[in-house]
Structure 1
Amino acid sequence: MRRSILLITPENNEINRFRKKQINNFIQITMPYLAAFIDESKYEITLIDEYNQRVPYDDYFSLVALTVNTSNATHCYEIARRFKEKGSKVVMGGPHATLLPDEAKEHCDYIIIGEAEETWPKFLNDFYDNTPLERYFCIDVPSLDNLPIPRRDLIGKRYFTKGAVFATRGCPYQCSYCNLKQIYFDEFRMRPIQEVIEDIRSIKSKYFVFWDDNFFGDIKYAKILMKELKKLNKKWAAQVTLERCQDEELLQLARESGCMYLFIGLESFSEESLQGVNKGMNDVVKYKQIIDLIHTYGISVQAGIIFGFDYDKKDTFKKTLEACNDLGIDGVTVSILTPLPQTPLYQQFKTEGRLLSQDWRYYNGKTTVAYQPKNMTAKELYEGYMWFRKEFYSFRSILKRMRRSRTNIIHNLIVNLGYKFSIRENDFGKINEDIKVEHY
């Protein structure tokens, strides 16, 4: 007899409002990928993405599976409570469950800690046989060979943005605010190239994104993959580090294989800030040279910018805007520095007594400030961040940057306008000014 399983990609209302009008919101690949491991002779599968679907609270499921990141943890705990009241069993995994398993376990029946290629299928078999364990640990480094193709057929209400795929896992760097080293084994791994190509070939849309943490993490591998990818006539984007974009052969292959834009974590235009969070591989002096080179090959730059480093001051927002306009940055994903649990940054702020709350809703990096900045108040950080977002996506800035960049003009205009119209200041602004600072 088949059992029913509900897989949920959670997204709380606050972040959903924040993202809703942005154009380039591709599906998170985790749940469609995990669905591919499920034996449909044993389970009837329902996949829900809260970005554009409602959780079916009125229905009963034998098992509810949630992937939990830190900013959604409180929301996931509430989802779990409602389904447990109906008699469903709940299993949790993902970044937050891996970082804080004891906390997460208080809200679910079963927990999967770490990478799931081996533990998830084992749990599914055990649950079906009524012999599940409460905790499953990933002990050995999982191989990325012979992985199933994600169940994109289960994804609802998307077409252009359901094409996400990963070729590698991990990152060779050690940024102190990043939790990859605490979530994954510290070993950069690659999928067999032909398996990646078959995965991409199965995507019906012409557009897709690589969901890799650093697509250029192994340059030799990336070059071989892009030579094969060229044959598929697709359009794609990926996250990479700036210093690896000095390789012109790499950029040429990227463009020939359909690369439209690269997401690059610039983070800051301050050398001191970059050194302070162990991101010294970014050389501010070379920003212009490398970004101009990327534009030369017709590839757009979506820059990651973070505000709130200890060297940031109240004039940082204006200086960053001027630098982005001068460089012709095509778009930004701008965030507030967030001390995610178990990272070196979190430990630093905890030791210094600068954490403002243990309420994980404040740890989303977009609408809240979770710690006391060094050279400004939390309110000043938030207001500066919001000012930058508004000004960067003003018509004046958009036109200036597009004239400077001259790459993918129609696509960039659409994406920029999507970000512009998503900014609604009155929807946001939970600043932790009134929360008592405690030594957690």
Structure 2
Amino acid sequence: MEYGPFSHSRKMKLVLISPKGPLYRKRGGIFKRSLRYQPLTLTTLAALTPKDLPIDITLIDEGISEIPADLQADLIGLTVITGTAPRAYELADQFRAKGIPVLLGGPHVTLLPEEAAGHADSLCVGYAEQTWPQLIHDFIAGNLQKIYRQAPDFDLSDTTLPFPERHRFNREDFLTQAVFEATRACAHNCEFCVAPTAWGRKQFQHPVDWIIQDIRQFVERTGKRKLIFVDLNLVSDIGYAKQLFTALIPLKVQWFGLSTVLIAHNYELMELMARSGCKGLLLGLETVTSGSLKDAGKKFNSSVNYKELIGTLHKLGISIQGCFVFGLDHDTVDTFDATVELAIDAGIDLPRFSILTPFPATPLYQRLEQEQRILTKDWSLYDAQHVVFQPKLMTVQELEEGHERAWKKIYQYNNIVRRLWNAKNFQPLAITANLGYRFYAHNLHKFYTCDWPIEHRPSTIDVIKG
């Protein structure tokens, strides 16, 4: 469908939508809306929209609000992850049937642009700092292109980039609006990770002064001093990380972020993190099975004693959300209980479990497809809570049931007490978070029920490669 030049006699109506995700697949969802932190994608796109053009912008996060049946728009953009792709395509087809042009972007579109093209008038592939303003200008001029790709020499060093327009959402709808991004990408090449496939391994960095200015203006506007950094690996570049943490110290903020376990080899860095206000880290611990670390491309994790690292971070006042994945090729039915016991013994403040998910186009997906182990291409099941491939050393049912059992066991009341006792952490926030995850653990599989009858689930592959 082709669209002519947009009339300048009125404001253009631009609607940006984040489609409903897995936790909200069924009526009511698993969590109340206010337990989610505010994402950055839509507020960043709103900020990048040219201010010299007459444009009225509406943001809709379908996880917290319904899309009006009578929605009026001149252009609709949807950001798509794999788990929301079917919903995004459904919405896109409905809007286009009404004569509204639709553009699609996000990780899934970047991974599978050929698939997404069948549901859109235009695609935004990769990051959008350069392409988004051009796309909007082209649309208004009646010259919308089929695809926009960010230039390979793109970086985030431009200090004139606008800050995300967080105020466009109602802050009461989210646990927090204080979400920031200093860097993008990660230098590692984990087999299951989407980032290297979608965006490469080159790390992009905002200037430290830009980040500090963004935080300052947010604190001045809201009075909030607890922040979340959503960077995949905030300490990938040690030199940059030290500059950032040093600059954070005068702000007297408290922050939470993500890191690899390799910080265990740099006590100076961990100490600086604590001084800068770090109160919590998400660590990709992944597995207790050494062979599975090699499977995942995270063999470097084996150089770290998890219990010692967590003990050191606790002494520095940093709580841990430890993330584990089940279903790697060396995992067996014994892996679930072994993982739970490690989490208790190490005093992990907030353990989290997921099922290995071969996201499309990743090395893991390509390998499993070659081995004929992909069981479904229903992207709505690619949410890290469904089994969508044939495990190697257990059945699909054993992986599903072991995953559910681990969740429920780790969040039994006695095990919550044991973990927090070992962590020496009985802060109200830790207790509240654990009770919230206990609710999650006991309700998760009401929302993530697999539709395959047991008798139709594939059995374990007989030939096991070393």
TM-score range, shorter chain: over 0.9
Q: 1:365/1:321 Cα in 2 relative to 1: closer, same or farther (>3 Å)?
A: same
Measure, in 1, the Cα distance between the counterparts of 2:163 and 2:67. 25
Counting matched residue pairs gives: 436
The DSSP-based 3-state class of the residue aligned with 1:202 is: helix
Q: Which stretch has the larger CA shift, 333-342 or 185-194?
A: 185-194
Aligned to 1:8, the other structure's residue is in SS state strand
Aligned match of 1:133: 145
Q: Residue 148 of structure 1 aligns with which residue?
A: 162
1:23-62 matches, within 5 Å, as 25-40=36-51, 41-62=53-74
Larger Rg: 2
Q: Which moved more, 1:383-392 or 1:196-205?
A: 196-205
Cα deviations across residues 238-290 of structure 1 (Å, max 9, x unaligned)? 11001124322222222222211000000001110001121011027511111
Task: Return the match for 2:402 from 384, 401, 408.
Answer: 384
Aligned match of 2:117: 105
Shift of 1:85: 2.4
Find the counterpart in structure 1 of residue 387 from structure 2.
369
2:79 is the alignment partner of 1:67: yes
- Contact kept, 8 Å, 1:42 with 1:128, in 2: the verdict is no
Q: Distance in 2 between matches of 1:236 and 1:189?
A: 21
Paired AA for residue 364 in structure 2: L
Deviations 1:266-316, CA, capped at 9 Å, x for gaps: 000111000112101102751111111111101001011100001111111
Letter in 1 for 2:116: A
Residue from 4, 8, 30 that aligns with 2:17: 8
Could you say if the C-alpha distance between residues 194 and 166 of structure 1 is closer, same or farther in structure 2, counting changes exceeding 3 Å? same
Aligned to 1:394: 412
Deviations 1:27-58 (A, max 9, x none): 22111111101135321001111221112232
Check whether the contact 1:193–1:225 (CA below 8 A) recurs between aligned residues.
Answer: yes
Distance 1:259 1:22 in 2: 26
Shift of 1:234: 1.7
Residue aligned with 1:20, SS: coil
Partner of 1:95: 107
**Match runs of 1:275-290 below 5 Å:** 275-283=294-302, 286-290=305-309
> What is the CA-CA distance between 1:87 and the residue it aligns to?
2.0
Go from structure 1 to structure 2 and tell me whether the alpha carbon gap of 1:96 and 1:155 turns closer, same or farther (over 3 Å shift): same
| Percent identity between the two aligned chains | 35
Q: Aligned pair 1:420/2:431, yes or no?
A: no
| Aligned position for 2:423 | 405
| 3-state SS of paired residue (1:92) | strand
- TM value normalised by structure 2: 0.89
Structure 2 counterpart SS, 1:149 = coil
Q: Which amino acid aligns with 2:20?
A: E
Structure 1 length-normalised TM: 0.95
User: 1:160 offset after TM fit, Å?
Assistant: 4.2
Cα RMSD between the aligned structures?
Answer: 1.9
SS class of match (1:221): helix
| Separation in structure 1 between the aligned mates of residue 234 and residue 429 of structure 2, nearest angstrom | 22
CA offsets 1:1-28 (integer angstroms, 9 cap, x no match): 3211111122235456665259863222
Q: Does 1:83 align with 2:95?
A: yes
Q: Which runs of 5+ in 1 are unaligned?
A: none
Rate the CA distance shift 1:19–1:180 in 2: closer, same or farther, 3 A.
farther
1:241–1:62 Cα change, 3 Å: same
**Structure 2 unmatched runs, 5+:** 1-9, 460-466
2:355 corresponding residue in structure 1: 336
Aligned ranges for residues 121-270 of structure 1 at < 5 Å?
A: 121-144=133-156, 145-146=158-159, 147-156=161-170, 157-158=172-173, 160-203=175-218, 204=222, 205-270=224-289
Return the letter of the residue paired with 1:114: G
